[in-house]
Amino acid sequence: MTQPAPGRPTLVTVARAAGVSRQTVSNVINSPHLVSPETLELVRSVLDSVGYRPNLAARQLRTGRSGNIGLRMRPSNDGINGAVLDGFLHALTEAAQAAGHRIVLFTATDDADEVRGYRELVDTTNIDGFVLTDTHHGDDRARWLEEQGTAFVTFGRPWSDTVAPETSSHSWVDVDGAAGTAAATAHLLGRGHTRIGFIGWPAGSGTGDERRTGWRRTLLDAGLPIDGLDVACADGIPDGASAADSLLRSASVTALVCASDSLALGALGAARTSAQPIAVVGYDNTAVAAAVGMSSVAQPLEQVARSVIDSLLAQLADPVPPDAMHRLVAPSLVARASSTAPAHVDPRHAPFVGTT
Amino acid sequence: MTQPAPGRPTLVTVARAAGVSRQTVSNVINSPHLVSPETLELVRSVLDSVGYRPNLAARQLRTGRSGNIGLRMRPSNDGINGAVLDGFLHALTEAAQAAGHRIVLFTATDDADEVRGYRELVDTTNIDGFVLTDTHHGDDRARWLEEQGTAFVTFGRPWSDTVAPETSSHSWVDVDGAAGTAAATAHLLGRGHTRIGFIGWPAGSGTGDERRTGWRRTLLDAGLPIDGLDVACADGIPDGASAADSLLRSASVTALVCASDSLALGALGAARTSAQPIAVVGYDNTAVAAAVGMSSVAQPLEQVARSVIDSLLAQLADPVPPDAMHRLVAPSLVARASSTAPAHVDPRHAPFVGTT
C-alpha cells in the first residue's frame, strides 16, 4: 500500500510515509505499549513495506534477545582433522551474521567443563542459545540444556543405543556419513576396483561406525568381500600409513576408503611404496586433500550451518518451543587424481604425501 | 597471613577464615559500598590469600566488564592462506579463556562494514574491546576505535608512509616477517644455494614488502645477486606455479623463498618438472606444508595471542589508558624435505604437490 522510499529507510522516511512523528515511530519500535493499537498497526505496516530494519540495540530491548550464540571451540589437532570444524565455524558465523546474530566462542577441556561454560555464559552474558558439535555416545551435554530450557541445536546426531536419532527430543543437523563412504566406494567400484579396504576408527564412535557401514554395505550389495579388509586405528597420518601398510601386505587391496583426510594422507604415503597403483579416497575434503590432489568426501558445511541457524531461530521466535527439527544432509564426493589417475603420470599430478 | 583452606575456596571458607558472615563476603564482592573500609580490606586480603575467584556474573556486576572481545572473522579462501588466521583464532580463544574472557565473532565485507560491525557490537552487546587483524596501508579502522575510546589491539603493525609503527598511538603485536624470510634465505645459503628467487605479492602491502625485504637483504649481505630473481603475483597455488615456472626458465634459480604456503605449493609443483632439484620454502607453516613435507616459516601464534590479550587486559584494568604496547615477535623456520632432501629420494619423502 505504501511505496518504499528510495535509499535506505530511516525513522524519518517511515514517519513521513505513515504521516506520524519520528518519536511515534521510535515508540512503535521501542515502547509499543505507549502507542495506540491503530497507530501501531499503521506504522508497523509501513515499517514492513519499506523494509525498515530497526537497529539491533532497539530490537534487543524489544525482544530481550542478544543475538549471541555460544559455541565451544575445539582444538585444531594436526590442522587436518580439525579443519572441518574450522570450516563449520566460518559457515556458522556467516549464517548467523546473515540473520543478525553473532558467535561467542569459548573453550573447554571436556563435556563437563563445556556445560560449566554454558552455565557461565547463561549467567554472565545475554546469550540466546548454543550450537553443540562432536555428539557422541554417553553425551550428557544436551540434557543440561534441555533441563534449563535453553535453545540449542547439535551439529551431529544424538548417538544412543536406546533412542533413535529420529525420535530425539532436541533439534539436530547432521551429514549422512554412510552415504559419503558409500559414494566413495561406488566411485572405486566404477573404476574397476574389487578389493577395496577401509581405514577407520575403533568401533563405538557413532560418526566412525556409520562411515564404516557405508563402505561395508556397498561392497556387500555388490557381492564383494569385506572380510579382513577393514582396519581400525586412531586418527592421524602415521596411523593411516601403518593401517594402509598392513592392508597392502595382507589383503591385496587395490583401493582404500578412509574415514578422514588424515588417515587418507597416511595411506597415500604408504601407497606410493606399493608396486601397483593404489587408489585412495579421504573424508572431509580439507585444504590438504585439494592441495595434494586427493579425492575426498565433502560435507556441505554451508547447508549444515544455515539449517542449524534456522532451527535455532525457530526456537527463539516461538514462545511455545516448536517440534524438534532433525535434518540429515547428503555429502558429495570430490574425485581427484588419487583415485582417478593412472599411476606414475606427470609428477605434478601425482598424489603424494611426505613426512615431516 | 591466612592459610589457604584445602579444596576450592568458597564464600563459606572465606567467611570462616575472615571471621565474618557469608553475606558480608558476598557484599564485599558484589556491593562493596555497603561494607566498612576495615572489613573490606580484611575480606579482600583473605580472598586474595585463598585464591578465591568470584564467579564471572559477580565480577561483571562489579566491574561493568562483560569479558567479551570482538573479532571480525575473515574468509578462509583456499584454506591454506586463511589457515594462519584460523590458527590465530584458536590461540586467541584459548588465551582469552585463560583470562576469563570470550571471543565474539562477526563477519564484514570490507573495512567500512567492519567499523559498522564494531558500532553495532558496542551498541548492542556489552563488549570490552576488539582485536583487529590484516592491518594495511590506508587502514582507517583503528582511528574510529581510538575516537570512541574503545580498547583494542591489532595483530599487525599500522602500515603508513608517514608514521613509524614504533610511534603508533595504539597497541599492536606483530610477527617480524623480514626476520622470517631472512631465516629461510640463510637456511638455503647454508645448504649451498647461491641463486635464490623470491615469489611474493605486488609491492604496497606492508606484510608482503617486509617479507621481500628479508630475502633481499640477506642475499645482498652475502654479496649475491637479486636482479631478476623476484616475481610478484597474486596469492594462490596457480600463481605460485606460474611465477616459479618463469623464474626457473629465465633466472636459473636453484631455490625459492615464497611469501605464503599457497605460493610455495604452486612452486613445488612447478619445481617437480625441473631437471634439477629445486629447494622451496613457504611461509605460515600450515597443515598442508606439514603434510607434504614442505619447509615453511612458522608464526608463533600462541605468543602473539597471549600478548594481544595481555595488552587488551592492561587497557581494561587501568582507568588511565596505559602507554601503547608495541611488540614484534620472531618467527622460526621449520625445515623439511622440500629444502633439505636430495631430489628423487624415497617417494614417500619427496616434496610434491598435485593439482585439483
DSSP lists the bridge partners of residue B204 as none
Q: Tens of pLDDT along chain A (356 residues)? A: 444 334 556 778 888 889 998 888 877 776 667 788 889 889 888 877 776 655 555 555 556 678 899 999 998 877 887 899 999 999 999 999 999 899 999 999 999 999 999 988 887 777 899 999 999 998 999 999 999 889 999 999 999 888 899 999 999 999 999 999 999 999 999 999 999 999 999 999 999 999 999 999 999 999 999 999 999 999 999 999 999 999 999 988 999 999 999 999 999 999 988 888 999 999 999 999 998 899 999 999 999 999 999 999 999 987 777 889 999 999 999 999 999 986 534 343 343 333 33
What kind and span of H or E run contains B220? helix B206-221
Q: Which residue of B has its CA nearest to A90?
A: B75
Q: What is the distance in angstroms between the Cα of B76 and the nearest Cα belonging to chain A? A: 8
Instruction: List, in order of start, the domains of chain A with CATH numbers.
Output: 68-175+301-330 (3.40.50.2300), 177-299+334-349 (3.40.50.2300)
Amino acid at the residue B264 = A
Q: What ipTM was estimated for this complex?
A: 0.81
Radius of gyration of chain B (CA): 26
**Does the distance separating the beta carbons of A105 and B102 come in below 8 Å?**
yes
Rounded Cα–Cα distance for residues A106 and A124 (Å):
13
- Nearest beta carbon to residue A352 from set B124, B270, B347: B347
Q: How far is A353 from chain B (nearest CA, A)?
A: 5
Provide the chain A residues 44-83 that lie in CB contact (below 8 A) with chain B: 55-57, 60, 66-68, 73, 75-76, 78-80, 83
Q: With CA atoms as reference, report the closest residue to A268 among A165, A179, A205, A338.
A: A338
Inter-chain touch B348–A291, beta carbons under 8 Å: no
In this complex, the residue of B107, B126, B237 whose CB is nearest that of residue A291 is B237
Smallest CA–CA distance, residue A45 to chain B, in Å, is 25
CB pairs under 8 A between A and B: 187
Residue A355 in contact with residue B340, Cβ under 8 Å?
no
The answer to whether A19 faces chain B, any CB pair under 8 Å, is no
Instruction: Give the pLDDT score at B258.
Output: 98
* Pairwise CA distance, residues B91 & B97, whole Å: 10
- Among B67, B83, B94, the residue with its CB nearest the CB of A79 is B83
Q: Contact at 8 Å (CB) between A265 and B352?
A: no
**A216 to A28, A230, A252, B74: CA distances (angstroms):** 61, 9, 17, 40
* Cell numbers for B284: 605460515
> B109 to chain A, minimum CA–CA distance in Å?
11
Residue of chain A with shortest Cα separation from B356: A293
Q: Do B353 and A97 touch (CB under 8 A)?
A: no
Interface mutation vs chain B, best among A8, A105, A113, most B CBs within 10 Å: A105
pLDDT band at B355 (very low <50, low <70, confident <90, very high): very low
Inter-chain touch A124–B93, beta carbons under 8 Å: no
Least Cα distance to B281 among B184, B213, B199, B216 occurs for: B184
Q: How distant is the Cα of B272 from the closest Cα of chain A, in angstroms?
A: 6
Cα separation, B356 vs B342, whole angstroms: 26
Find which of A8, A30, A81, A90 to mutate to test the B interface (most B CBs within 10 Å of its CB). Answer: A90
